[in-house]
Structure 1
Protein backbone atom coordinates (compact mmCIF):
# COMPACT_ATOMS: atom_id res chain seq x y z
CA UNK A 1 0.00 0.00 0.00
CA UNK A 2 1.29 3.44 -0.88
CA UNK A 3 2.22 5.74 1.98
CA UNK A 4 -0.36 8.55 1.45
CA UNK A 5 -3.15 5.99 1.14
CA UNK A 6 -2.16 4.36 4.42
CA UNK A 7 -1.92 7.82 5.98
CA UNK A 8 -5.48 8.85 5.18
CA UNK A 9 -6.84 5.38 5.88
CA UNK A 10 -5.51 5.68 9.42
CA UNK A 11 -8.10 8.43 9.96
CA UNK A 12 -10.99 6.69 8.23
CA UNK A 13 -12.26 4.67 11.19
CA UNK A 14 -11.18 7.01 13.97
CA UNK A 15 -9.00 5.67 16.74
CA UNK A 16 -9.56 2.04 15.70
CA UNK A 17 -7.88 2.36 12.30
CA UNK A 18 -5.25 4.56 13.90
CA UNK A 19 -4.38 1.72 16.25
CA UNK A 20 -4.42 -0.85 13.44
CA UNK A 21 -2.06 1.16 11.23
CA UNK A 22 0.16 2.00 14.19
CA UNK A 23 0.63 -1.71 14.84
CA UNK A 24 0.97 -2.73 11.18
CA UNK A 25 3.14 0.04 9.73
CA UNK A 26 5.67 0.72 12.48
CA UNK A 27 8.59 1.19 10.10
CA UNK A 28 7.02 4.00 8.05
CA UNK A 29 7.41 7.38 9.76
CA UNK A 30 4.64 9.10 7.77
CA UNK A 31 2.04 6.43 8.48
CA UNK A 32 3.13 6.14 12.11
CA UNK A 33 2.70 9.92 12.54
CA UNK A 34 -0.83 9.96 11.13
CA UNK A 35 -1.85 6.77 12.93
CA UNK A 36 -0.65 8.14 16.27
CA UNK A 37 -2.38 11.47 15.67
CA UNK A 38 -5.60 9.66 14.76
CA UNK A 39 -5.40 7.49 17.86
CA UNK A 40 -4.80 10.42 20.21
CA UNK A 41 -7.24 12.87 18.60
CA UNK A 42 -10.21 10.55 18.19
CA UNK A 43 -9.57 8.83 21.50
CA UNK A 44 -9.65 12.19 23.27
CA UNK A 45 -12.75 13.29 21.34
CA UNK A 46 -14.50 10.07 22.30
CA UNK A 47 -13.69 10.46 25.99
CA UNK A 48 -14.65 14.14 26.14
CA UNK A 49 -17.88 13.58 24.21
CA UNK A 50 -18.85 10.74 26.54
CA UNK A 51 -18.23 12.89 29.61
CA UNK A 52 -20.09 15.86 28.12
CA UNK A 53 -23.09 13.78 27.11
CA UNK A 54 -23.60 12.56 30.69
CA UNK A 55 -23.73 16.08 32.10
CA UNK A 56 -26.93 18.09 31.56
CA UNK A 57 -25.02 21.38 31.53
CA UNK A 58 -22.44 20.25 29.00
CA UNK A 59 -24.58 18.12 26.69
CA UNK A 60 -25.13 21.00 24.26
CA UNK A 61 -21.36 21.34 23.88
CA UNK A 62 -21.19 17.72 22.82
CA UNK A 63 -22.94 18.45 19.51
CA UNK A 64 -20.58 21.33 18.78
CA UNK A 65 -17.59 19.18 19.60
CA UNK A 66 -18.80 16.48 17.24
CA UNK A 67 -19.13 19.04 14.44
CA UNK A 68 -15.60 20.34 15.04
CA UNK A 69 -14.24 16.80 15.11
CA UNK A 70 -15.99 16.04 11.80
CA UNK A 71 -14.35 19.06 10.15
CA UNK A 72 -10.96 18.06 11.59
CA UNK A 73 -11.49 14.51 10.36
CA UNK A 74 -12.00 15.72 6.77
CA UNK A 75 -9.02 18.11 6.92
CA UNK A 76 -6.72 15.45 8.36
CA UNK A 77 -7.68 12.90 5.72
CA UNK A 78 -7.13 15.38 2.88
CA UNK A 79 -3.74 16.46 4.23
CA UNK A 80 -2.62 12.85 4.66
CA UNK A 81 -3.87 11.90 1.19
CA UNK A 82 -1.75 14.69 -0.27
CA UNK A 83 1.30 13.34 1.53
CA UNK A 84 1.63 16.20 4.00
CA UNK A 85 2.28 16.23 7.69
CA UNK A 86 -0.33 18.27 9.51
CA UNK A 87 0.18 18.54 13.23
CA UNK A 88 -2.82 19.42 15.36
CA UNK A 89 -2.20 22.02 18.06
Structure 2
Protein backbone atom coordinates (compact mmCIF):
# COMPACT_ATOMS: atom_id res chain seq x y z
CA UNK A 1 0.00 0.00 0.00
CA UNK A 2 2.73 2.48 0.93
CA UNK A 3 4.45 1.95 -2.41
CA UNK A 4 1.31 2.96 -4.28
CA UNK A 5 0.79 5.96 -2.01
CA UNK A 6 4.37 7.15 -2.52
CA UNK A 7 4.06 6.70 -6.28
CA UNK A 8 1.00 8.92 -6.25
CA UNK A 9 2.42 11.58 -3.93
CA UNK A 10 6.11 11.83 -4.82
CA UNK A 11 6.80 13.92 -7.91
CA UNK A 12 10.47 14.86 -7.74
CA UNK A 13 12.65 12.14 -6.25
CA UNK A 14 13.45 9.37 -8.73
CA UNK A 15 15.09 7.49 -5.85
CA UNK A 16 11.85 7.39 -3.83
CA UNK A 17 9.74 6.64 -6.90
CA UNK A 18 12.03 3.75 -7.89
CA UNK A 19 11.83 2.14 -4.46
CA UNK A 20 8.06 2.69 -4.34
CA UNK A 21 7.61 1.04 -7.75
CA UNK A 22 9.89 -1.87 -6.83
CA UNK A 23 7.99 -2.34 -3.57
CA UNK A 24 4.62 -2.25 -5.32
CA UNK A 25 5.62 -4.83 -7.93
CA UNK A 26 7.31 -7.10 -5.40
CA UNK A 27 4.63 -7.17 -2.75
CA UNK A 28 1.67 -7.17 -5.08
CA UNK A 29 3.19 -10.21 -6.80
CA UNK A 30 3.94 -11.97 -3.50
CA UNK A 31 0.42 -11.28 -2.22
CA UNK A 32 -1.32 -12.61 -5.32
CA UNK A 33 0.91 -15.69 -5.52
CA UNK A 34 0.50 -16.42 -1.79
CA UNK A 35 -3.30 -16.22 -2.09
CA UNK A 36 -3.27 -18.61 -5.04
CA UNK A 37 -0.99 -21.07 -3.25
CA UNK A 38 -3.01 -20.90 -0.04
CA UNK A 39 -5.99 -22.67 -1.64
CA UNK A 40 -3.89 -25.76 -2.39
CA UNK A 41 -4.12 -28.18 0.56
CA UNK A 42 -1.05 -28.61 2.75
CA UNK A 43 1.85 -28.07 0.30
CA UNK A 44 0.31 -24.92 -1.13
CA UNK A 45 -0.34 -23.55 2.34
CA UNK A 46 3.24 -24.35 3.34
CA UNK A 47 4.61 -22.64 0.22
CA UNK A 48 2.33 -19.68 0.89
CA UNK A 49 3.80 -19.25 4.37
CA UNK A 50 7.34 -19.53 3.01
CA UNK A 51 6.49 -16.88 0.43
CA UNK A 52 5.25 -14.53 3.18
CA UNK A 53 8.55 -15.13 5.02
CA UNK A 54 10.44 -14.23 1.85
CA UNK A 55 8.30 -11.09 1.65
CA UNK A 56 9.29 -10.05 5.16
CA UNK A 57 12.97 -10.58 4.36
CA UNK A 58 12.70 -8.56 1.13
CA UNK A 59 10.81 -5.83 3.00
CA UNK A 60 13.60 -5.51 5.59
CA UNK A 61 16.37 -5.58 2.96
CA UNK A 62 14.55 -2.96 0.87
CA UNK A 63 14.05 -0.64 3.84
CA UNK A 64 17.65 -0.92 5.00
CA UNK A 65 19.07 -0.33 1.52
CA UNK A 66 16.78 2.66 0.90
CA UNK A 67 17.67 4.11 4.32
CA UNK A 68 21.36 3.78 3.43
CA UNK A 69 20.69 5.73 0.24
CA UNK A 70 21.46 2.79 -2.03
CA UNK A 71 19.42 2.25 -5.19
CA UNK A 72 19.32 -1.50 -4.58
CA UNK A 73 17.55 -3.55 -7.23
CA UNK A 74 15.92 -6.87 -6.44
CA UNK A 75 16.79 -9.45 -9.10
CA UNK A 76 14.48 -9.16 -12.14
CA UNK A 77 11.99 -6.94 -10.30
CA UNK A 78 14.42 -4.01 -10.04
CA UNK A 79 14.87 -3.90 -13.82
CA UNK A 80 11.12 -4.20 -14.30
CA UNK A 81 10.53 -1.35 -11.84
CA UNK A 82 12.95 0.90 -13.76
CA UNK A 83 11.20 0.13 -17.06
CA UNK A 84 7.71 0.69 -15.67
CA UNK A 85 8.75 3.84 -13.84
CA UNK A 86 9.81 5.35 -17.16
CA UNK A 87 6.37 4.60 -18.59
CA UNK A 88 4.30 5.74 -15.59
CA UNK A 89 3.90 9.48 -15.21
CA UNK A 90 1.42 9.89 -12.43
Instruction: Please indicate, yes or no, whether the TM-score normalized by the shorter chain is above 0.5.
Output: yes
Q: Which residue of 2 aligns with 1:51?
A: 36
- C-alpha displacement at 1:26, in angstroms? 2.5
- State how many pairs are aligned: 74
TM-score normalised over the length of structure 1: 0.79
Instruction: Indicate the residue corresponding to 2:8 in structure 1.
Output: 23
Counterpart of 1:23 in 2: which secondary structure?
A: helix
Instruction: Report the 3-state secondary structure (helix = DSSP H, G, I; strand = E; otherwise coil) of the residue aligned with 2:30.
Output: helix
Moved over 4 A (4+): none
Report the equivalent of 1:84.
Answer: 70
| Gapped regions of structure 1 (runs ≥ 5) | 1-15
Q: Which has the higher contact order (CA 8 A, sep 6+)?
A: 1
Supply the RMSD in Å over aligned alpha carbons. Answer: 0.9
Which structure 2 segments of 5+ residues have no match?
76-90
Q: Which residue of the partner structure matches residue 17 of structure 2?
A: 32
Q: Distance in 2 between matches of 1:62 and 1:72?
A: 15
Query: 1:6 maps to which residue?
Result: none
CA deviation profile, 1:23-49 (whole Å, cap 9, x unmatched):
111221000000000110010011001
Measured in 1, the distance between the counterparts of 2:65 and 2:54 equals 17
Q: TM-score, normalised by structure 2?
A: 0.78
